[in-house]
Structure formats: structure tokens, C-alpha cells
Chains A and B, each alone.
Chain A
Amino acid sequence: MRHLRKYLSLAKASLEIIFVYRAGFLVNQIGSIFYVVAMFYLWQVIFLGKAGNLGYFTWPQMKAYLLIAFLLNSLMTWFDEWQMGQDIREGRVATDLARPVDFQVKRFAEAVGPVPFELTSALCIGAIVAVAFGGIAFPSDPAHLALFVLSAALATLLKFAFIYCVSMIAFWTTGMNGIQNARFAIQSIFSGALIPLVFFPDWLRAIASVLPFQSMVSTPALTYLGTMDGPTTALMIGIQVAWAVALLLLGRLVWRSAVKAVTINGG
């Protein structure tokens, strides 16, 4: 309980900081509106050409898929490799280490803090876009919706764990900008955020299935749509849990050895 309070306070402070940088947040939101609208038009053209059904998805399902991808990408945008890398390289992490907090949990609290706000904003934008494009598919079964919420939460946790691991590269290199861009590009493709994985050729889908990225977008989106049967859904959510746990632990491990081996600059 005691521990919870300190991390809650850190999360709250992090949420407060988003309001300080509201202009930046707003510009970001406007950018993502353009992006999601562009995606809708692009897929609309494809679906209309095929009479509204591509085999795996109907057009209303595809619209729901795109909005879920947009929603998930809108969360935890304030936690990235670049910022973590700066903190590591410039020795700001020394301040964190001089406090009675767990470094990874602190970072998680700060990443999660703005999520309620990001979520609200993304839901509003999503609702407007959904209405503008004539509605989206809803889950046929309320259980799918509940499982989707769980799966989306796991996807967000996994995203944190993954970015945290990648950030550790900052201990050994300087080019965090490039690494972040590369991570985002790879994630966009293999998570299914750009193109649903079912449209991939077999070999590419095989690669995607062994990577953690599908757990970040594809799994929660398909859970929402209810296109997977019960056992498959359970398996896919199990894979999400496994990746999240594995990467959280890996992050802790790398952090511990990095701190031991590498100088913390400055101070």
C-alpha cells in the first residue's frame, strides 16, 4: 500500500506534466487525426474495390480494427527510447537512483500516468472518425469486449517493457533517434498496425508470429472482433502475458548489468 502510494504520486505528476506541454500534445493529436483519416480512406478504396469484403474482414470490421490500432498507438506516447536515452546519457538517472524507488517501476508509473488522458482523447477522436465513416463493427459477445480490455492492457504493458529494453541500448550507443525510428517502423509492420497480419504472405506471417509485436496490436484487435475461436484467444492472450513478463525481466536484468558495467555520466 505504502509503495503503491509513491508510484501513484509519480504517475499523477507525470499526468500533470502532459498538461504543461499541452501545445505539443495537441499538435501530436492533430497529426494522428490526419494519419487515421488517411488510413481509413486508403482501406476504403481497397474494400470498395472488393465489394466491402476482403474475405477475412468486412469493411465495418476493418474500420474497428484500424481504430483499435490507432487507440493502442495513442497510449504511452510520452515514454520513448529517446527520452530514456537522454536521461541515461546525461546522467539524470543518478537522481532516480539516489531515491528509494525501483527504477523500472518508477518509469512505468510515469509512462502510465498520462494514459487516462491519452485514452480519453483517443476515444473522442475515434468516435468522431467512426461516425464520419458510417460506424464500426461491435463485438457480438460482451465477453469479447471484456477480453479486449484485458488484451489491450497487456499490449500496453508489453509496449512499455519493449521500449524499456530497447532504451538500454543507450548505455552503449548514442544514436537513440535512429533506433527509436527503426523500432517504430518494425513495430508498425509486425504488430499489424498498418496491415492486418492475415494479409501477409505466409513466410512473413510466420516471422510475425514469433515476434512480440503481434501482441501489441493484432491480438487485442482480433479479440475485439471475435474472429479467433476460444482456445486461440486464450493462447494469444497467454503469449501476450509471456512476452510482457519476459521483457520486463529482461529489462531489469540488462539494467542491472549495465549499471554495474558502465559509468553513469556526469554529476
Chain B
Amino acid sequence: MALIEASGLTKKFRQAVKEPGLVGSLKHFFTRQYKDKLAVDHIDLSVEAGESVAYLGPNGAGKSTTIKMLTGILVPTSGTLIVDGLVPHLRRQQNARNIGVVFGQRTTLWWDIPVVESFNLARDIYDIPAKRYKKNLAEFTELLGLAEFMNIPAGKVSLGQRMRADLCMALLHDPKLLYLDEPTIGLDIAVKDSIRKFVRRQVDERGVTVMLTTHDLGDIEDICNRIVIIDKGRIIHDGDLKALKDNYARDRVIHFQLARPPVSMDPICAGLPMCDVESDGLALSVRFDRFKFAAGEIAAAVMDHVEVVDFKIDEPEVEDLIRKVYLGQLSLTAPETAAALEPAVASEA
């Protein structure tokens, strides 16, 4: 059985609807009106032990709500959810022993006491055996470089230091599952990098299963093998990162710098069937499908007709892809998810 098994998982919130202004407030005081909001709408999700899943979606898509149901903080409205054999909200405390949580926007450390004392509290709360605790703490201190601020209260360390300490805190009790909610938000590049490497190492060496929500695509490429995209409470894509790139990020672009403007574009275009050729003075760019052509073929075809001074190749960007999905310009209908997608499309119409 998979580590996380969700089927038809749904969370509906009741939101108070209030008209603007004093009159609206008064009306609201006497006759309350509510509107149901489907934050998570019948999602099916199965995550195997050892996977690292990027759980993406625009703001308000239902990411955090899903994570909160997985941690047992929120009770699902309907559907079933089993995490490591437990129903999280019914066995919240037991489930908590299996999971580590990092919220980028808030710390799990005690604000007013030295960082190391928060770790000691974690030891007592999770009942970590002394030996295990010592070993883990020593390892994480080394890998995350925590020694320099171990004795400073969490409220007085920098954001980058705090996040590193938070990661340590989340992993001290050897959780099987690690939920990371925007773990690199607001961090500088060096810290981002060290955090990504650290998390990836936990996946590779300890077999920790990671579920990551983020708006930073660097996190995904460095940590995750699988991408799940949620929008308006529904999963609109679920597949591995490489397949996503292969299926949708097929276009590469070569930009050529020419010695002189081409006399005519026709022979160049004729030599490049099924490619987009754009030319502007000395610049010429060719967009092509990287599965149909090798970059060398394109370059050779161009150089047959014009003299090339320089060139560079743009690789397809996952970022571009996901931006397009968010904006609704690209619908990811991979064959295996196409059936599940239809109702989503219908409800949006």
C-alpha cells in the first residue's frame, strides 16, 4: 500500500458573505449569509514511500488545505485519506510522529529560547531515544551549519538560519514523511541551494518521502521527481518531471548571430520544415521540436545558406510551462489523466 492514499478527498469551507459598508455589516449582523467554497474537490492522490512530490498550484488552489488534511489538522468533508495506515484526523497524534512539517511562513521553533532548546523540546515531545537524538542532531548540525547560532533564540536569528533550524527540527524524530510548505520563501540563493541539497540528501539517503509546495521552480527541479498540479481544488496534472518536460517542453530555440543579413529567407525556411523561423536583421532564431531534430541538424541547415558568427540555444523551461498552465494557456491532458480531467473542464465552462 502507498504511503499516502487519498481518494475523492474533499474539503468544503463555509465562508461568510458580507456586503460592503456599514449597511452590509449591519445586515450581516442580523442575517448571516454563507457561501460554500470547495477548497479541495475530490482529489485522488497516491504517493509511494521514497517519492519526492512537488505539489504545485496558484495561490488559493488548495495546496495548503491538502497538506493540512494530510497532517490531520483539518478534517476532510468527504472522501478517504490514509497516511501510513492511519486516518490522520482520527489519529492526529500518532500521525504526527510519522511526519515532519516545515512551514516557510512560520516557525515551529520556540521564539524566545535558544534554538538548541527547541531541539531538546522536540526530543521530549517526540520521545526520541537519547542516542538517536544525539546522532541526528550532530549530523544535521554539520550538514546545515547550525553550530554558529545554536545558542541564540529563534526570534533573533536570520530567516535563512531559522529555516535551516526548522528543517532540523522537522527531521529529528526520523519522520517517514516530510511536508515542506514553501520552504525557501524569501531566502537568498546560497541558503536556497543548501536547503535543496539537504532535502534531496534526506530523500536519497534516508528514504524520506517529501511532499513540497512551492512557487520556486528551482525547488522542484532540485528536489522532486514527480509533479502534481492542483487548480481550483482539482488535480490537473500528475506525472513525473521528466515526462512533463518530454511531453510539453519540446521546443528548443537556437539564436544565430549572422555576418550579414540574409538575402532571402525562402531557402532557409525550405531547409527547415516544421520549424518556426524568425529573422530580424542580423538575428535569426529557429524554434524546433527537440525530438524531431538535433540542434546540429538545425545549425547545419542554417549554415548552408548564411554565414553564422555566433549562436546560443535556449532550453525548454519548466517554469514557462507551469506559468502557462496557471494562466490556462496550456492544458496538460496526459493520456492517463485525461479521463479524470473532463469533469474539471466541464465545471469551469
Q: Which residues of A contact B (CB under 8 A)?
A: 2, 5-6, 8-10, 13, 16-17, 20-21, 91-92, 94-95, 97-102, 259-261, 263-264, 266-267
Contact of A97 among B13, B92, B124 (CB under 8 A): B92
A263 cross-chain contacts in B, Cβ below 8 A: 13, 74
| Range of interface residues on B (Cβ < 8 Å) | 20 to 34
Q: B107-132, CB under 8 A of A: which get 1 and which 0?
A: 11010110001001100111100000
A54 to B206, CA, bound (A): 75
Contact with A along B77-102 (1 / 0, CB 8 A): 00000000000000011101101010
B290 contacts the other chain (Cβ, under 8 Å)? no
Q: Which of B73, B125, B153 contacts A264 (CB 8 A)?
A: B73
Task: Please indicate the chain B residues that have their CB under 8 angstroms from the CB of A5 in the complex.
Answer: 124, 127
A9 to chain B: closest residue by CB: B124
CB < 8 Å A-B pair total: 84
Report the separation of the CA atoms of residues A154 and B159 in the bound assembly, to the nearest whole angstrom: 43
B103 at interface by CB-CB < 8 Å: yes
Q: How far is A259 from B92 in the complex, measured between Cα atoms in Å?
A: 12
Q: Once the chains bind, are B75 and A260 in contact (CB under 8 Å)?
A: yes
The answer for the CA separation of A20 and B112 in the assembled complex, in Å, is 7
Residue of A whose beta carbon sits closest to that of B71 = A98
B residues in contact with A91, CB < 8 Å: 106
Q: Are A267 and B96 in contact (CB under 8 A)?
A: no
A99 neighbours in B (Cβ, 8 Å): 96, 125-126
Let me know if B105 is at the binding interface, CB within 8 A.
yes
Residue on A with the closest CB to B155?
Answer: A20
Which residues on A sit within 8 Å (CB–CB) of B126? 99-100
Given A9-B121, A97-B73, 5 other A-B residues pairs in contact with their CB atoms under 8 A: A13-B117, A94-B106, A95-B106, A98-B101, A264-B74
Query: A266 with B127: in contact, given A17-B113, A100-B93 (CB under 8 Å)?
Result: no
Chain B 21-61 per-residue mask, 1 if CB under 8 angstroms from chain A, else 0: 00000000000000000000000000000000000000000
Once the chains bind, are B124 and A20 in contact (CB under 8 Å)? no
| Closest B residue to A3 using CB positions | B127
The answer to whether A98 and B125 have CB atoms under 8 Å apart is no
Tell me which residues across on chain A come within 8 A of B112, comparing CB atoms: 16-17, 20-21
